[in-house]
Structure 1
Amino acid sequence: MKEMKPIPYRHRPKGLTILYEDRDIIVIDKSAGLLTVKATYEREKTAHHILTNYIRKGSLKSKKQLFVVHRLDRDTSGVLVFAKSAEAKENLKLQWKGVKKKYVAVVHGILTEKSGTLISHLAENENYEVFSVKDSRKGELAKTRYKVLKEAKRFSLLEIELLTGKKNQIRVHFSEKGHPLVGDDKYGKKDEPKSRLALHSHYLTFRHPYSGKELTFEAEVPGFFKSFFDNT
C-alpha cells in the first residue's frame, strides 16, 4: 500500500481520531455526539465535513472528495471508514455484507440467554421510529448476534456482531427484548438519567479496496462502558 506524507499539524482534524490512512481509505474512531454526514439541522460538525477539510489541507481550490461507505448513529462511537475515491467506495460497498462488524454495548438488566441471535423484520414509521413487524413483506430482515461479556446487578456488557446493517438495528432489537441500551433516549427507559448512548463500534474487518489484504481496525472501548462494572 502507498505511504502518505504527513499532513501539517494545523490541518489535522479535531473531534475524531484517525486510526489509519492511505491513498484509498481513512479509518477513524468517531466520538459520540458527532454526526457521520450532514443533516438538516447540522452541516459542518460532521465526520465527513471535518475529514473533507482535512484531506484538502485547508485549500479552497481543492477538488478532493471523500466518499461515505457506511454510517454510525450520531451517539454511537467507534470505528468508521471513508473512501477517498469512487472506485474504493464501490469496492467496499460490494463487500460490505461480508464485512465483520463487532460492537460493544451496555444494556439494562441480566439476560437469561447469555448468547444468541436476534432476528426480525424491521420497518420505519413516519416519525422515523424503527420497529419489528410480523409480516416479512412489510420490513427488512435484521440479524443481531450477541454474547454477554460481563454482568453487574442491573447491567450487562455485550459483544454484538451485526449480521445485517439496518437503521437502529441493535438499539431496537435489545429494546424489544426488554433490555434497552443505556442512554438510549429513543428506544430506552424514559425515566433513565441522561447519559451518552452505550454503543461502540469496536472492531471492523474488511479487505483493502486496492491490495485486497484483510484489515482489522479496533477503537478502544471508552471508560464510560467499564464504569458500570468497576465493583463487580
Structure 2
Amino acid sequence: MAEYQWKYEGDKPITIKKFMSQVGLGHRLLADIKYGDGVFRMNAKVEPITTIIEPGEVVTLVTNPIPEDPEVKVSDEPIEIVYEDQNWLVVNKPAGLSSIPGPTNSTDTLLNRVKGYLIQSGATDLRPSLIIRLDRFTSGIVLVAKNRVSQSMISHQVENHELDKRYTAIVSGHLELDHDVIDHPIGKVEDSPRRVVRPDGKTAQTEYWVKSTGEDWTEVEVQLHTGRTHQIRVHFTHLGHPLLGDELYGGPQTLIQRQALHAQSLSFTDPFTHEQKVFKVTLPTDMSDIIHD
C-alpha cells in the first residue's frame, strides 16, 4: 500500500473528486479508484469520491501496489541514477541503450533495467513509466515515474510541454543564425523510420542557441517546445546541417559513430511538493572530445 495526502486549501466546500482533479490526478486513475483500485480516507474513514470536503480538511489516497507486467522482462544491468525519491527516478541513459522494449530488443532496455532496479530495491509498484523517451543512440536524462500516481500527476505538464528539456547537439557546418526557433511541421516517410519536414505533418518547434564552433561543426543548446519523433535530428537536417554521426539523416561519420545528441538537463515542477526540480548531467566523452579537442 502507498499513501498520499493533500490538504484542501480552498475556501468553499467541494467533492473529493473535484479536489483530486485540482491537485492533478487524471480521470483514468480516479475511475480506477472509484471501482475499487484504491480508497480515499478522511479522519481514518473510507469515503466515496462524491464526499464533500471542507476547507482545511485532509484527504488521504491509499493505492494498491501495481503488479509487474510479465511482458517486460527483468534486466539486472546497472543504471546511472541522478536522483530518486518515493515518486521519481531520474536516470542518465547511455547511448546505444533503447528506452523501451521493441522487436529488436525486448530484454535489456532502460525500462527492463529500471524494473530490475526496483525489484532489487524492494519496491512493490513494478510498472514504472518513462515520462521521457530518448532515441537509442541519444544519451542523457530520462525521467521515470515510479508509480501510477506520479505518472498521473505529471501528465498535465507533459501534455502542455511544461517540462523544460535541454539538449546539446553537434551539427555539421556553421549555422546562419546564433539563435532561432525552427518552426516546421514533421511527418512520416512511408516504409521508413525517417521523418521529414512536410506541410501535412504535425506542428513542431525547436529552439536553439549556438554555443561554440569548430572547423566544420557547430555545438548548439536545444530546447524542445514540442515532442515529435526525431524532432531535433529532422529540423537540423532540414536546415542542411544534420547532426554529426547521424547515419539515418546523412550526418558526417568521421568524428563520432552515433548522432551527436545528449539530453543534458531537465527541470519540472514536482506536482507533489510544488518545488522546482532541476537536473543536469555532463556530456559523454564521445561528444566532449569533439568540442574540446
1:228 deviation in Å?
Answer: 2.1
CA distance in 1, matches of 2:213, 2:232: 19
Question: 1:115 maps to which residue?
Answer: 179
Percent identity of equivalent pairs: 28
Question: 1:57 maps to which residue?
Answer: 120
Q: 1:192 aligns with which of 250, 253, 278?
A: 253
Are 1:214 and 2:276 matched, yes or no? Answer: yes
1:184 deviation in Å?
Answer: 0.5
Does structure 2 retain, via aligned residues, the 8 Å contact 1:24–1:209?
A: no
Are 1:92 and 2:154 matched, yes or no? Answer: yes
TM-score (norm 1): 0.87
1:100 deviation in Å?
Answer: 0.5
1:1-232 correspondence runs (5 A): 14-57=77-120, 64-96=126-158, 97-126=161-190, 127-134=192-199, 138-189=200-251, 192-193=253-254, 195-231=257-293
Give 3-state SS (helix, strand or coil) of 1:192's partner.
coil
Q: Of the two, which has the highest radius of gyration? A: 2
Q: Give, as a single letter, the amino acid of the residue that structure 2 aligns with 1:98.
A: E
Q: Give, as a single letter, the amino acid of the residue that structure 1 aligns with 2:90.
A: V
Across the two proteins, how many residue pairs are aligned to each other?
Answer: 217
Structure 2: 5+ residue runs without aligned partners? 5-74
Greater RCO structure (CA 8 Å; 6+ sep):
1
Does structure 1 retain, via aligned residues, the 8 Å contact 2:267–2:276?
A: yes
CA distance in 2, matches of 1:170, 1:68: 20
Change (3 A) 1:44 1:62: farther
Give 3-state SS (helix, strand or coil) of 1:106's partner.
strand
1:58 deviation in Å?
Answer: 7.9
1:152 deviation in Å?
Answer: 0.8
Change (3 A) 1:63 1:118: closer
Give 3-state SS (helix, strand or coil) of 1:186's partner.
helix
CA distance in 1, matches of 2:88, 2:253: 39
Structure 1: 5+ residue runs without aligned partners? 3-11
The root-mean-square deviation of aligned C-alpha atoms, in Å, is 2.2
